[in-house]
Chain A
Amino acid sequence: MTGITRRGFAALVGAAAALPLFGTALASAARTPRIVVIGGGFAGATFAKYLRRAMPSARITLVEPKKSYVSCVYSNEVVVGLSTLKPLTVGYAALAEAYGIRHVRRSAVAIDPVARRVTLSSGDKLPYDKLVVAPGMAYRYDALPGWNEETAALLPAAWHAGPETTQLAARLKAMPNGGTAIITVPPAPYRCPPAPYERASLFAWYLKRNKPAAKVLILDANETFPKQALFEEGWAKLFPGMVTRIPGSQGGAVQSVDAVAMRVEAGAGSFSGAVINVIPPQRAGDLATAAGLTDETGWCPVNPRTFASKLVPDVYVLGDAAASGLPKSATSANAGAKVAALAMAKTLSGQPVTDPLFINTCYSRLAPDYAIGIASVFGVDPTSGAIVVRNTGTGTSPLGASLGYRKEEAEDADKWFRALMSDTFA
């Protein structure tokens, strides 16, 4: 466990509470603002922890019905049997014990932005001074004919880690030697832009060993994708002829799916799949939509310096649900949450908000000892107010690197994942 210990936390709160400098109600509200955080994924958990670090006196409540969180990061490894869900699963005990975060195991069902109250699934109402909404993304069950709540079990998305991951793993395992595993990629933006291609890579790695006559087909609504040259280099080197991708311009966009016939209709033709992994079109999580935080894109417009909603006062939206200009990734969720936490602490104490900085880092594994990475350092352009790369701080792993180099990157990836999990949840 890192950061503020339980004893240290109590001492800090004690110090703040014991100072008798202000007796007014105003000072009291500034001292103990009520902060409610909805959603305990990478964004919500990081925010709660880092707000505590910046503001020892805040009353921070995390509203999250689940007892533990299952990371989507590294869940492609689980699909092909390289890992299990266990190391991807983390509880909220450290946030509660080391950082004094109250965990309320309920769903948030409604927000009243005028009375500033959250209604919980129990019917209880939770008052707030500032509300942070981090519900992640939700599948759009209405966007792809043939893919809905009923057929999703037959055509698993596995874009939320957990039971869906296990379902997809079972389907891959049951696949005959000789069929095609189809992955459909929705139009951007969607959660974790390189992840469909990592999944295709690991499918190929698994099939090459277990069902060598099988193939992988990516039907892609998009034209290009992150780390594309590196992925394509890896596919040619590791699994020659096994991975085919049809981009949007060549009819890769899926038009409908048939879970009974196990067929996919796309502009390029009709395809039969032994496994069909539909990565569905996405939007901000349900609560964000219900609370009027989304615009016509289905995502939540925010100010990238503070993550304040542009639509609802005193509400902040973090992580995948936010249209901040950052990629929809775990590291961006973590980075944005830290910026938002410091900005909120400064705002509540009457200090000016300082300029943000974010790192996005993402590794993709193509095989156990073969990983590639991408990283960017972002700031906010003072003129446009948009997220921009700082200096020349963006790039990927080099093309044409040795297998030894890719192995070192696979080791870097493991270290990155462990640090990310502990920085977020411990």
Chain B
Amino acid sequence: MRRVCLALALGLAAVGTATADTDVRTLADSCAICHGTDGKPPRDGLDRLAGMRSSEFVEEMRELRDDPDEGRLMSVIARGYSDAEIRAMADYFAKLR
């Protein structure tokens, strides 16, 4: 609690949970160029990530990573993340509405 207060006092928004040494916000924000800010794409866009079930996100990413024919360029991108990072992003997006 004290940490949260300190962060607020210093003007920081909610502190992200780190996976290894990369902040989960860095991981999740990287998706936004195609999936929209906070995983909310513009109309007629790619898949919405905000609010996606965590298990679904993990399963999709693993399928994309392991099957190059699955998702066009997304199969390339999925290979850039570790299992722990995929789980961290899954939990992060599942909480967004």
Contact = CB atoms under 8 A, between A and B. Distances in A.
Give the interface size class of chain A.
Answer: 35 or more
Contact of A32 (B8, B11, B22): B11
Most buried by B among A19, A349, A394, A423: A423
Contact of B72 (A55, A58, A397): A397
Contacts of B82: 391
A25 to B, nearest CB: 14
B45 to A, nearest CB: 5
A423 B26 contact: no
B46 A412 contact: yes
B84 interface: no
Interface stretch (A217-225, A262-270, A334-342): A334-342
B33 A27 contact: no
Interface residues of B, number: 43
Contacts of B1: none
Given A361-B33, A423-B37, 5 more contacts: A3-B38, A19-B9, A375-B77, A377-B79, A409-B72
B76 A390 contact: no
Contacts of A376: 76, 80
B11 A423 contact: no
Contacts of A350: 10
B25 interface: yes
A378 B26 CA distance: 12
A349 B11 contact: yes
Contact of B13 (A12, A334, A415, A423): A12
A396 B36 CA distance: 22
A419 to B, nearest CB: 5
5 contacts: A27-B10, A391-B80, A416-B33, A420-B34, A422-B42
Given A21-B5, A357-B26, A419 B42 contact: yes
Contacts of B40: 2
Given A419-B45, A419-B46, A393 B10 contact: no
Nearest to A17: B11
Nearest to B36: A419
B14 to A, nearest CB: 10
Nearest to A389: B80
A357 B79 contact: no
Interface in A1-54: 2-3, 12, 15-16, 19, 21-22, 27, 30-33, 49-50, 53-54
